[in-house]
């Protein structure tokens, strides 16, 4: 076994993201909250159909798919999945067919949620849309996707599946190993020193990829994952397991300890894809102080978590804190009725 990034650069990769993405200081928000200086890394600016973190994550999946001669790509995700939308865009760009399976992860949704935002973009991008009734059955969702792939094979197609459940090679996380290397280079060039990176922790690909990349490159920069799908108690071991999977795939020693895995679920309730007061405030703060558009599912909750810890005194006045903006803005439109109701209530 070796240390560092191992055979990372030997894996096939299709470049899809616009990178490096810029790092900007959030001057107005810093002045508004007081305390540490707040910064944002703009991974919402990665291009490819509204950009976001998924543009980085899919590069190694599509690299493998093209190396295998696939002509069709399949993926499963939530109804308003950014991952699904980005895969559909990449498939279109690369001249491949795309089949997407949308899972019922959020309860009590309306017609706007089912037709606007990412779902609208999936249709515009020409994806073939399938449905799966259970939003908490990752293995079953992957199995159903496999059945669709089998039908395509019977028709003479060459499908490639991007899996959802754990137990598969973590190629998506490689995108944020790349991002970790990019971030360290920017910090060195621009003379920046961050007390912490704050990012979304959901599938764990972004969180684990960034954390593994930093540690493999010798950086002890703390990473705080804000839980967007499950509790911190359940999320922490998933992140550690994904970091171990990355090391195994690269043929290197595990470089991430349990102590390195920091997660908070302070902004999670009442659950995945559901608004709360903290997230609503975060959406407005980011937009009205910095012109940053967030989404209610991921970045809104991450921003809310960061603001919470700033107000709680977790950082010193001389610290720099970096928020990783992973995009997802199309999902905002799916929540228009809920946002309108919130503003109407606030105006009363």
* Residues carrying an active site annotation: 81
Question: Within its chain, how far is the Cα of 298 from the centroid?
Answer: 7
Mapping DSSP onto H, E and C, the string for 76-104 reads EEECCCHHHHHHHHHHHHCCCEEEEEEEC
State how far the Cα of 323 lies from the Cα of 146, in Å rounded to an integer. Answer: 36
Determine whether 184 is exposed, middle or buried from the number of CB atoms within 10 Å of its CB (0-12, 13-18, 19+). middle
Determine whether 179 is exposed, middle or buried from the number of CB atoms within 10 Å of its CB (0-12, 13-18, 19+). buried
Residue 55 DSSP label = H
CB atoms within 10 A of CB 305: 29
Tokens standing for residue 51: 């950009």
State how far the Cα of 325 lies from the Cα of 247, in Å rounded to an integer. Answer: 26
For residue 291, give Cα distances in angstroms to 27, 45, 67, 94, 283: 11, 14, 41, 33, 10
Nearest CA to 199 out of 217, 216, 224, 181 is that of 224
Sign of the C-alpha dihedral computed for residues 286, 290, 293 and 298 taken in this order: negative
State how far the Cα of 243 lies from the Cα of 158, in Å rounded to an integer. Answer: 30
């Amino acid at each position: 076994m070796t240390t560092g990034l191992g055979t990372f650069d030997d894996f096939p990769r299709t470049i899809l993201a616009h990178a490096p993405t810029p790092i900007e200081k959030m001057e107005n928000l810093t002045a508004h909250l007081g305390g540490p200086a707040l910064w944002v890394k703009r991974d919402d600016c990665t291009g490819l159909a509204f950009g976001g973190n998924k543009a980085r994550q899919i590069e190694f999946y599509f690299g493998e798919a093209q190396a295998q001669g696939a002509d069709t790509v399949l993926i499963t995700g939530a109804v308003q999945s950014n991952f699904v939308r980005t895969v559909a865009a990449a498939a279109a760009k690369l001249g491949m067919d795309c089949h997407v399976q949308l899972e019922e992860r959020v309860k009590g949704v309306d017609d706007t949620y089912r037709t606007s935002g990412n779902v609208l973009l999936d249709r515009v991008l020409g994806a073939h849309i399938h449905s799966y009734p259970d939003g908490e059955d990752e293995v079953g969702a992957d199995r159903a996707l496999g059945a669709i792939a089998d039908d395509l094979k019977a028709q003479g197609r060459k499908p490639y599946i991007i899996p959802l459940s754990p137990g598969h090679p973590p190629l998506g996380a490689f995108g944020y190993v790349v991002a970790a290397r990019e971030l360290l280079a920017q910090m060195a060039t621009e003379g920046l020193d961050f007390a912490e990176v704050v990012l979304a922790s959901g599938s764990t690909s972004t969180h684990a990829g960034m954390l593994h990349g930093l540690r493999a490159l010798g950086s002890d920069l703390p990473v705080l994952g804000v839980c967007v799908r499950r509790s911190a108690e359940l999320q922490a071991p998933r992140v550690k397991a994904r970091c171990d999977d990355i090391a195994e795939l690269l043929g290197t020693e595990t470089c991430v300890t349990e102590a390195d895995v920091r997660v908070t679920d302070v902004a999670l309730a009442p659950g995945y894809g559901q608004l709360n007061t903290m997230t609503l405030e975060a959406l407005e703060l980011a937009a009205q102080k910095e012109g940053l558009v967030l989404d209610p599912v991921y970045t809104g909750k991450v921003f809310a978590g960061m603001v919470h810890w700033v107000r709680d005194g977790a950082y010193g006045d001389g610290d720099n804190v970096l928020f990783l903006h992973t995009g997802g803005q199309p999902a905002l439109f799916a929540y228009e009725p809920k946002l309108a109701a919130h503003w109407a209530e606030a105006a009363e």
